Amino acid sequence: MIHLVPFFLVTITLAGTIVYFAVLYYRSSRTNKTLEAALVSMKSELNARIEQAGTEGRRLEAILDSMSEAVFAVDSGLNLLLVNPRARSLFAIPSGSFSLLEATHSTELEGAAKKVLIEKTSVDFEVKLHKGGRQFFFQVFAAPLGQSSDVVIVLNDITKIQKLEQVRKDFAANVSHELRTPIQIIMGFAETILERNLDKKKLVHSVEIILKNAQIMENLTNDLLALVSLEDNAAPRLEMAEVNVKDLLEKAVQSVETQREIKNIRIKESCAPELNARLHGPLIIQALINLLDNAIKYSSSSSRVWISAEKTTSPEGEGELAIMVKDKGIGIPGEYQERIFERFYRVDKARSREAGGTGLGLAIVRHIALLHGGSVEVESHAGEGSCFTLRIPLT
């Protein structure tokens, strides 16, 4: 006969968790062995499940750590349960226990979490936040976390998209503004010609004005097309070739010969005949034409313009090609120098339009420099002239 004694508790520690089993102790050795085998099997299965849960937890942690989005998980009291590295970095959250409002200082995020808890539904909206002196735009998604009373909040940074959208709007507004004036002038003088019986002198004057403003519109269109082409990321990479730099300077000078003669300006070139560099020749010529054209426009008659090129060494110790265009014109006040490479930015709008400028020439120069991995800089003083330097790495 097998004798049965009262049961007792057996404890097994698995991954830090104590598991209790109620065990009936039998006097039979055969039953003891069966029970022992069952316990060993149960322990192995529990260990396997714990290991699987640990693996899934580490996988989830790795995913959250690598996400570019900021992720929060909060409980029903809106206290933080989980914060991924992106969120911790963005909101400068130290270690410790915080509420969602204490961590983000955003009543919009707190309100979204409360709405999810009350309505048991997800919400999706955009929010603007200020962090570290900067303005950020986020697409926010908040939803219940499974069947629990917790909430997960995901913030996708759309700041760059918002800025690009603003640039697009500004660009459209600027183009419309630039075209409005010459169109109105052309229409006004065309109506004058049609409605009045003008003598030959006034007629010629009106036609000249129409022609001049039509030329302004053509220049603007050409510059816009050039700028769009340079900014097209889908365009094939530039084909660079070893070219003689002195030849490029001479071609650029020849292209502005008409403007130079009108103002009787002398252009002095300086470049070693043997100086070669790997460049996209036509674009460099275009950049130099823009710089020379500006130098002529904003210099007084019978003055001088200098264009030179040489090999130099960058502050990082790398070889570079430096091409300089210098004039003794009106110069650029210091407070405007950081913005002159922006599209449509003009220091003196009235004088620039009178000279036929589109406000895009220096933006084009900047893009050409960037496409070569280089930069463009200016040194200028009001009333003393300007010196623009195009720097292209030789490596």
How far apart (Å, rounded) are the C-alpha atoms in residues 114 and 76? 9
- Asked if pLDDT for residue 92 goes beyond 70, the answer is yes
- In sequence order, the 6+-apart residues with CB closer than 8 A to the CB of 307 are 249, 252, 253, 267, 268, 269, 270, 288, 292, 323, 324, 325, 326
Per-residue pLDDT band at 11 (split at 50, 70, 90): very low
Per-residue pLDDT band at 16 (split at 50, 70, 90): very low
Would you say 299 and 265 are in contact if contact means Cβ atoms under 8 Å apart? Answer: yes
For residue 288, the model assigns a pLDDT of 93
For residue 131, the model assigns a pLDDT of 76
Per-residue pLDDT band at 316 (split at 50, 70, 90): confident
336's enclosing H/E stretch is none
Neighbours of 130 (CB within 10 A): 10
- Asked if pLDDT for residue 31 goes beyond 60, the answer is yes
Give 59-86 pLDDT, tens digit per residue: 666 566 666 688 888 898 899 888 888 8
Q: Domain 236-395 belongs to what topology?
A: Heat Shock Protein 90 (3.30.565)
Average pLDDT of the chain is: 79
How far apart (Å, rounded) are the C-alpha atoms in residues 392 and 378? 15
Q: Count how many residues are written for the chain.
A: 395
Mean pLDDT in residue range 374-390 = 89
Q: Where are the domains of the chain?
A: 8-64, 67-157, 162-235, 236-395
Would you say 87 and 72 are in contact if contact means Cβ atoms under 8 Å apart? Answer: yes
For residue 2, the model assigns a pLDDT of 42
Is the pTM higher than 0.95? The answer reads no
Least confident of 54-63, 302-311, 365-374: 54-63
Q: Which two tokens stand for residue 259?
A: 């403007």
Q: At residue 330, what are phi and psi to the nearest 5 degrees?
A: -75, -20
Give 99-113 pLDDT, tens digit per residue: 888 888 889 999 999
Would you say 332 and 382 are in contact if contact means Cβ atoms under 8 Å apart? Answer: yes
How far apart (Å, rounded) are the C-alpha atoms in residues 108 and 129? 10
Query: How far from chain centre, in Å, is Cα 137?
Result: 14
Give 151-207 pLDDT, tens digit per residue: 999 998 888 888 877 777 777 777 777 778 788 888 888 888 887 777 888 888 888
CA distances from 307 to 127, 250, 288, 360 (A): 51, 10, 9, 21
- In sequence order, the 6+-apart residues with CB closer than 8 A to the CB of 65 are 84, 85
Nearest 5°: the CA angle 228, 314, 331 is 60
Neighbours of 392 (CB within 10 A): 24
Per-residue pLDDT band at 335 (split at 50, 70, 90): confident
Mean pLDDT in residue range 140-153 = 85
Nearest 5°: the CA angle 253, 305, 246 is 40
How far apart (Å, rounded) are the C-alpha atoms in residues 141 and 158? 13
How far apart (Å, rounded) are the C-alpha atoms in residues 252 and 307? 10
The architecture that CATH gives domain 67-157 is 2-Layer Sandwich (3.30)
Q: Domain 162-235 belongs to what topology?
A: Helix Hairpins (1.10.287)
Give 205-246 pLDDT, tens digit per residue: 888 888 888 887 877 777 777 777 776 665 666 778 899 999
Mean pLDDT in residue range 24-41 = 62
